[in-house]
Structure 1
Amino acid sequence: MTIIDTEPTRHGTPLRRPLTLAVAGAGARGTAYADLAARRPDSCTVVAVAEPRERARRSFAERHRIDPAKVFDSWRDLAEAPRIADAVVVALLDEQHVEAALAFIERGYDLLLEKPMATTEEGCRRISEAAELAGVAVQICHVMRHTTYTRALKAELARDAIGEIISVEHLEPVGYYHFAHSFVRGNWRRQDETSSVLLTKSCHDLDWLNHVISRAPRRVASFGSLTHFRPENRPPGAADRCLDCAVESSCPFSAERLYRTGLREGGTKQYFANVITGGVLTEDAVTEALATGPYGRCVYACDNDVADHQVVSIEYDGGVTASFTLSAFTPLENRHTKIFGTRGQLTGDGRFLEIYDFRTERRTVIDTSRDGSAAAEGHAGGDQALMDDFIDALTAGRPDRITAHLQDTLDGHRLVFAAEHSRREGGVVEVRTQSPANQARTQPGG
């Protein structure tokens, strides 16, 4: 086979040709990012894939018309081959991020790295230091930074719509059936196999709070536990699997109802049905998955151990405070935020912003959606905006389009790890932050 090394992208200099992109991990996120990149054929071409699952690998390669010589069944094979792309999307299992990122960085690839950056602080630090030493660009997929909603919110804060920020309340309503799918029955149910739910689900949110507040976090305390999805809460008469359960019809967490509804409704429930059947959306495929796979288990008879609710209290430089709540026990809906300022209050739900002005006592509502779509669709446009920003940063010589300096991302992950330490061990934990941007923002007038 013939594989030709490419020249590294020159940050700050236009590329003058389409960016070439390889994808390591053709699961839901890797496939989504590749499809979004493919919407811009004049700017980006998907040229390689590494994926261990034969069906997913073949489907991905056919969809993007990839040369068979550039289709790999292991990310290691892709990393060890002569360099065949400018950048790599790393959308592997969380625990593989460090080894894979370091290997691709060593080969000179720029990276679009799915969150979390790594499952340990040491792993995050190693990636950050390696990227800086190699001079490659690394964008962490904190899609919430890239939405039109967040950009509009930041613009309102910048124009002093509510004065100086004093405190923030932020809620992530995970959704009862989403939590049951991913964090009770699914891949992110155990800390020893992945990490805490605060990292795997909500590192987005703590990064977003840092981004919005624009000050360095200094102290954190957190509380939370696995309270409900435990064997002692199993209803009388419940079976180990929903297919065999006499009380299944009265259980809000019924796997049978969730995945069979997904066959008909579309949206998130259909996405989950697609996950458990490997893309075969039929009644027989769902029945087989419920009978034999992990997603058919009773939520009270799984091996899960991650917290099903958690609160995080943060103190930032200058005395600004923030509280974050993660809960499994909600409808599946978008985040809710209230920002309390010296001149007013800002309330947001991922699409609409409401500004209440103390002086005029007027409320102004801003619809940040460009097309009237729901906030949950494509992370409110954040997925597409993230990919657009990454492509533009590398092809147009616009490094400013990568919104988070790696040190900012590292600081956000450090906040997560400190909060988890507080939750497990108790007490208030000091947060070590080193981002030059954070330090600059905490100076008087910053």
Structure 2
Amino acid sequence: MIKAALLGAGNRGMFAYGSYALDRPNEIQFVAIAEPNTKKREKFAETHGIEEDMQFSNWEDLLDNPKLCDVLLVCTQDRNHYEPTMKALDIGYDILLEKPMSPNPSETLEMAEKAHQCNQILTVCHVLRYSTFFSELKSIIDDNKIGDIMSIQWNENVGYYHQAHSFVRGNWRNSTESSSMILQKCSHDMDMLQWLIGEQCTKVSSFGSLSYFNEDNAPEGSTERCTDGCAVEHECPYSALKWYHNEKTTWPVNVVELTPDLDMRLKAIKEGPYGRCVYRSDNNVVDHQVANLLFENGVTVAFTMSAFTKEQGRTFQLMGTKGEIIGSTTKNEITIKYFSGKEEVISPAQVQGGHGGADTMIMRDFVKQINDKTYKSKTSAMESAKSHLIAFAAEESRLSGETISMDEYMNQLKQLN
């Protein structure tokens, strides 16, 4: 059985990966935890039966020890990925790392190169590669069912409520504290596109802005917090009272307060970041963005990320020389429309767990990697780094207004190093 340590007991560490160990204790067991939030640290430790001397209030204290176990799951905040990962690789840990690898492109490359030099496993949580849905889509493409792909339209439908929760009120609202929107949320999509197309991206252009979630759009009668007597709270789709003041124990309510106690939930809404008016927060990340991508084989991609959708998920249209593929993760449907007139609708098998079962599947894959060093995973740290660089280039283009050559961008990063 694999012995593991967790850095960061937030929603991803606590539930996405921690729950896998609870369901399959014969495969992996958490024996150490580092988490600055006392309530989260104690809850994770109690749930997993972690001894008191293996509970740490910060990752530095945990990594100051000799190697404590086999693997490390790094689920800290974005800007706290680089240092613990680099130190853990030196110690000899195999690592499962939450995306993004780092908000810094140079650090991202360094981490991938370090893992290669140390001959250690560094798997980045681009979980969609492991989902049954996208695995099915990849098989359809590789089987040449629609011929050669010519162009792709790809939408990341963030969902109005997810934008408000994570990117207006939540941990990823401000790029100076976390990452740009296209890196944090859409590095999944850049990784998917690179994987499905099977070639490297050569050019990127991008446009987008924060247009709606700002004080200019605050309704008359609104207040700093939803609990401050806001005149429009009852009608507001983003009301913190509607979203969080209930006894649910699932996302996103459990992010605001772990326990389903209404008094504690109300206290968190009144005092914490999730009770702020969505028009009066300190958010700065975009609420909509487009990116145009050109790949080595001539495939063009029109990518759109938008907060302004009812449903959360991805929709796409892949256009090939023999047909097209239309898909929706929300509907769990992939439709192949052949130019011959035939039409095929596929509903991929579903697996328990977040991201359409992908959280479960990446843990299963990680366990396989640790137990069998000859096992070939679906990705590598360097592949993940390259897809990150597409997102970095897109943000560079958005800010500069220039089309970014990926070769030139890479050369500039190497010169900086």
TM-score (norm 1): 0.88
Matches within 5 A, 1:384-399: 384-399=360-375
- Matching residue of 1:222: 206
Report the residue type matching 1:306 in the other structure.
Answer: V
| CA positional deviation for 1:42 | 2.6
Equivalents in 2 of 1:185, 1:397: separation in Å? 42
Distance 1:383 1:292, change over 3 A: same
- Matching residue of 1:246: 231
- Select which of 171, 192, 196 maps to 2:176: 192
Does structure 1 conserve the Cα–Cα contact (< 8 Å) formed by 2:150 and 2:300? yes
Question: Does residue 413 of the first structure (1) align with residue 388 of the second (2)?
Answer: yes
Does structure 1 conserve the Cα–Cα contact (< 8 Å) formed by 2:113 and 2:382? no
- Select which of 380, 402, 407 maps to 1:427: 402
Question: Does residue 367 of the first structure (1) align with residue 347 of the second (2)?
Answer: yes
- Select which of 295, 298, 313 maps to 2:277: 298
Equivalents in 2 of 1:26, 1:292: separation in Å? 21
Equivalents in 1 of 2:334, 2:343: separation in Å? 10
| CA positional deviation for 1:434 | 11
- In the TM superposition, what whole-angstrom CA distance separates every residue of 1:346-389 from its partner, at most 9, and x where no partner exists? 11112211111102x12111110236x7xxx5111100110000
Equivalents in 2 of 1:259, 1:294: separation in Å? 12
Report the residue type matching 1:19 in the other structure.
Answer: I
Report the residue type matching 2:49 in the other structure.
Answer: R
| CA positional deviation for 1:433 | 9.5
Distance 1:410 1:398, change over 3 A: same
Matches within 5 A, 1:275-424: 275-277=255-257, 279-350=258-329, 351-359=332-340, 361-370=341-350, 378-400=354-376, 402-424=377-399
Question: Does residue 109 of the first structure (1) align with residue 80 of the second (2)?
Answer: no
Report the residue type matching 1:210 in the other structure.
Answer: Q
Report the residue type matching 2:169 in the other structure.
Answer: R
- In the TM superposition, what whole-angstrom CA distance separates every residue of 1:218-237 from its partner, at most 9, and x where no partner exists? 00100000000111111112
Report the residue type matching 1:353 in the other structure.
Answer: I
Equivalents in 2 of 1:283, 1:70: separation in Å? 32
- Matching residue of 1:19: 2
Equivalents in 2 of 1:327, 1:434: separation in Å? 26
Matches within 5 A, 1:52-201: 52-201=36-185
For structure 2, the residue ranges without an aligned partner over 5 or more in a row are 411-417
| CA positional deviation for 1:43 | 2.5
| CA positional deviation for 1:200 | 1.0
Q: Which moved more, 1:136-145 or 1:55-64?
A: 55-64
Does structure 2 conserve the Cα–Cα contact (< 8 Å) formed by 1:414 and 1:433? no
Equivalents in 2 of 1:258, 1:229: separation in Å? 17
Equivalents in 1 of 2:21, 2:374: separation in Å? 17
- In the TM superposition, what whole-angstrom CA distance separates every residue of 1:134-155 from its partner, at most 9, and x where no partner exists? 1111000000000011111111
Equivalents in 2 of 1:433, 1:392: separation in Å? 37
Q: Percent of pairs identical after alignment?
A: 38
Equivalents in 2 of 1:434, 1:188: separation in Å? 25
Q: Helix, strand or coil: the match of 2:164? A: helix
Report the residue type matching 1:254 in the other structure.
Answer: S
Equivalents in 2 of 1:20, 1:58: separation in Å? 19
Equivalents in 1 of 2:409, 2:289: separation in Å? 26
Does structure 1 conserve the Cα–Cα contact (< 8 Å) formed by 2:314 and 2:328? yes
Does structure 1 conserve the Cα–Cα contact (< 8 Å) formed by 2:393 and 2:409? no
Equivalents in 2 of 1:421, 1:24: separation in Å? 30
Equivalents in 1 of 2:70, 2:12: separation in Å? 19
Q: Helix, strand or coil: the match of 2:49? A: coil
Does structure 2 conserve the Cα–Cα contact (< 8 Å) formed by 1:411 and 1:432? no
Equivalents in 2 of 1:293, 1:62: separation in Å? 25
Q: Helix, strand or coil: the match of 2:335? A: strand
Q: Which moved more, 1:146-155 or 1:285-294?
A: 285-294
| CA positional deviation for 1:174 | 0.7
Equivalents in 1 of 2:312, 2:170: separation in Å? 20
Does structure 2 conserve the Cα–Cα contact (< 8 Å) formed by 1:414 and 1:432? no
Equivalents in 2 of 1:44, 1:282: separation in Å? 31
Does structure 2 conserve the Cα–Cα contact (< 8 Å) formed by 1:411 and 1:434? no
Does structure 2 conserve the Cα–Cα contact (< 8 Å) formed by 1:217 and 1:433? no
- Select which of 19, 24, 28 maps to 1:40: 24
| CA positional deviation for 1:282 | 2.6
For the aligned residues, what is the CA RMSD?
1.7
- Matching residue of 1:11: none
Residue-pair matches, total: 406
- In the TM superposition, what whole-angstrom CA distance separates every residue of 1:142-198 from its partner, at most 9, and x where no partner exists? 000000111111111111111100011111111111111111111111111112111
Matches within 5 A, 1:256-275: 256-260=241-245, 262-263=246-247, 270-275=250-255
Equivalents in 2 of 1:130, 1:216: separation in Å? 22
Structure 1 runs (4+) deviating above 4 angstroms are: none
- In the TM superposition, what whole-angstrom CA distance separates every residue of 1:274-308 from its partner, at most 9, and x where no partner exists? 2112x122322222122222211111111111100
Equivalents in 1 of 2:163, 2:361: separation in Å? 26
Distance 1:367 1:399, change over 3 A: same
Q: Helix, strand or coil: the match of 1:369? A: coil
Equivalents in 1 of 2:234, 2:253: separation in Å? 19
Q: Helix, strand or coil: the match of 2:247? A: helix
For structure 1, the residue ranges without an aligned partner over 5 or more in a row are 1-17, 436-446
